[in-house]
Amino acid sequence: MMCTGVTPDKRRDGWPASAREHIFGRMRVRVGSLEVDSLTLGEAVDAVEGLVARGGAVFTPNVDHVVLAEDDARFRDCYARASLSLADGMPILWAARLLGRPLPEKVSGSDLVPALMERAARRGFRVYLLGAGPGVAEKAASKLCARGVHVCGFDAPVLRDPAPIIEKIRAARPEIVLVAFGAPKQEFFIDTARQHVPAVFVGVGATLDFIAGTIPRAPRWMSSNGLEWLYRLAREPRRLWRRYLLRDPKFALIVWRQLRGMRPVLPPRPAAGPS
């Protein structure tokens, strides 16, 4: 299934003003080994639109990504080459504030994609959906088509050899590709695919499931209070318990070490002279 959107209102001859400002002169905040762009949701959508004419990679670092990056050099390198890095989750905002570099707001994939797809429908951008479970991308495509998005293709392949997947995407000529393989697979794939397809690749995690309705989002009050992980753990304990209960608590130690390294070193006190 493919669909066409509404009559496009494209601005392909230049970047939106806020996108231009933040792509070329934006502030980035380091949390652990990863850098995060200081952008609001609206600025992030503008920035992604600005990338459409040239292609790029958009990642949404969360607690798990920060922890994974500590021990995975390839993952860190993918992030270092990313065009945009957007704060996914309240703990990233809390850490940035603790480190003295507050971020304006949370811009998770599940926040970004609906706003971005609304913009894509208005501009007539061609969108490709990749990943998630069997049938999820197709359901998500149907939902997005109903909202006027031009979905030019979808696929939910087993990610072994990226070459045929990349060729299929290239043949569809998308301008935005939503990639839902989960971390770190989606970041590895995007880092490779962007070299062959002139599109904006966005790592979206479970967002296609949210759009398709196969997995419900956490209530807004839980998400805004940093408890989305608890909601997801309660729904999928067998799949997520190791991540949330064993791996991700290391995030606090990572931030503590970073904070400790930022503390000024006081000069030693002079020895007291003879009285």
- Report pLDDT for 232: 80
Per DSSP bridges, beta strands 28-31 and 176-180 are: unpaired
- Report pLDDT for 235: 83
The DSSP element (H or E) to which 131 belongs, if any, is: strand 126-131
The amino acid present at 32, given as its one-letter code, is G
- Look up residue 201 and give its two tokens: 């690749």
How far is 235 from 232, CA to CA, in rounded Å?
Answer: 5
Per DSSP bridges, beta strands 56-59 and 200-203 are: parallel
> What are the angstrom distances between the C-alpha of 133 and each of 14, 142, 157, 179, 186?
37, 15, 9, 12, 14
List, for residues 170-194, the tens digit of each pLDDT value.
999 999 999 999 999 999 999 999 9
Helix, strand, coil proportions of the chain in percent (round to 5)? Answer: 50, 15, 40
Residues whose CB falls within 8 Å of the CB of residue 200, separated by 6 or more in sequence, listed in order: 48, 51, 52, 55, 56, 57, 58, 83, 175, 176, 177
List, for residues 63-90, the tens digit of each pLDDT value.
999 999 999 999 999 999 999 999 999 9
Positions in the chain whose pLDDT score sits under 50? 6-22, 24, 265-266, 269, 271-273, 275
- Report pLDDT for 248: 86
Tell me the backbone φ, ψ of residue 83, rounded to 5 degrees.
Answer: -75, -40
Q: Count each helix (H run) and each strand (E run) in the chain, helices first.
A: 14, 8
- Report pLDDT for 201: 98
- Report pLDDT for 2: 65
- Look up residue 240 and give its two tokens: 């997520």
- Is 126:148 a contact under the CB 8 Å cutoff? no
